[in-house]
């Protein structure tokens, strides 16, 4: 498709393979978005200098450093263009750099196409406001940032964390991502009330033997013994009793976040006030997770 109207929203694909091109075409569907393709980062930058694109998706054939350079150069021309990086490989350092440079998302091969599709849809559907993620400091082993209290920002952060922890097994990454997502959404919903003016504070720390994710919300906190919206507040034989309370309060379906987190990571630790939580997942030097790492197997 070719964009002939400058005001029309547009996506630029850089050297996309047929699978990615088909995925984007399926996401766009009948929406009034134009999709254009170019063969290289150089061609992409030349076209971007001539006209504005709302979303740019890089080639999976270019390395992360090349795509980060393209991202920086796009920022100088159109600061609010959403750039989704696809790359054959990456490291915690390149993921941290992508966050620092305000990439919308980051995927290293092999790609989980459903996750790519979800974040492309998020980029299409959410308002083009400022980024929502404020990086305060970053090294490959310690990242600290603030994140706006909304679902789109949560989805983006889950993907970034999944990429940073890519040396884990697929199951280990899935477990960590699930626990992190649940506790992040809890913090945004109950601490930040999904108020776009509120932010949660997050830290990701990686040592030789553990991954820790710290989440602090802006709320007043709570007691684990007094949270009727959560399944953890009820006996095991009545795991759904909290749903009636959630419906009456107009809360999103859920309430299993703490139970899920406890089942997917090794430790879930709350501060006394109840507005800060640390998730800990143990690993050994070979990247094995959980009980095997603790037992030294």
pLDDT reading at 242 higher than 60: no
pLDDT reading at 179 higher than 50: yes
Q: What are the structural domains, with CATH classification, of the chain?
A: 1-129 (3.40.50.2300), 132-297 (3.30.565.10)
pTM (2 decimals)?
A: 0.85
3-state secondary structure the chain: CCCCCCCCEEEEEECCCHHHHHHHHHHHCCCCEEEEEECCHHHHHHHHHHCCCCEEECCCCCCHHHHHHHHHHHHHHCCCCEEEEEECCCCHHHHHHHHHCCCCEEEECCCCHHHHHHHHHHHHHCCCCCCCEEEEEEECCEEEEEEECCHHHHHHHHHHHHHHCCCCCHHHHHHHHHHHHHHHHHHHHHHCCCCCCCEEEEEEEECCCEEEEEEECCCCCCCCCCCCCCHHHCCCCCCCCHHHHHHHHCCCCCCCHHHHHHHHCCEEEECCCCCEEEEEEEECCCCCECHHHHHCC
Which tens digits make up the pLDDT trace of 27-47?
Answer: 999 899 999 999 999 999 999
Which tens digits make up the pLDDT trace of 245-255?
Answer: 445 555 555 44
């Amino acid at each position: 498709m070719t964009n002939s109207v400058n005001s029309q929203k547009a996506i630029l694909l850089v050297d996309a393979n047929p699978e990615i091109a088909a995925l984007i075409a399926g996401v766009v569907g009948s929406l009034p978005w134009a999709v254009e393709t170019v063969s290289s980062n150089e061609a992409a930058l030349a076209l971007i200098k001539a006209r504005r694109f709302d979303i740019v998706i890089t080639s999976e054939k270019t390395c992360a450093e090349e795509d980060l350079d393209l991202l920086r150069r796009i920022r100088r021309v159109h600061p609010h263009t959403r750039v989704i990086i696809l790359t054959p490989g990456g490291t915690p350092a390149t993921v941290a750099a992508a966050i620092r440079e305000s990439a919308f998302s980051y995927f290293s091969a092999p790609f989980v196409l459903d996750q790519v599709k979800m974040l492309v849809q998020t980029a299409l559907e959410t308002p083009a406001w400022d980024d929502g993620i404020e990086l305060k400091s970053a090294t490959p082993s310690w990242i600290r940032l603030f994140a706006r209290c909304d679902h789109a920002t949560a989805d983006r952060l889950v993907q970034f964390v999944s990429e940073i922890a890519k040396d884990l097994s697929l199951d280990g990454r899935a477990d960590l991502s699930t626990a992190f997502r649940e506790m992040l959404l809890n913090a945004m919903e109950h601490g930040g009330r999904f108020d776009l003016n509120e932010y949660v504070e997050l830290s990701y720390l990686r040592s030789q033997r553990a991954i820790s994710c710290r989440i602090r919300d802006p709320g007043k906190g709570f007691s684990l013994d007094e949270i009727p919206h959560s399944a953890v507040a009820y006996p095991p034989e009545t795991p759904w009793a909290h749903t009636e309370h959630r419906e009456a309060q107009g809360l999103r379906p859920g309430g299993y976040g703490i139970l899920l987190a406890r089942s997917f990571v090794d430790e879930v630790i709350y501060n006394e006030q109840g507005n800060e939580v640390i998730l800990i997942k143990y690993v050994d030097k070979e990247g094995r997770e959980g009980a095997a790492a603790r037992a030294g197997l």
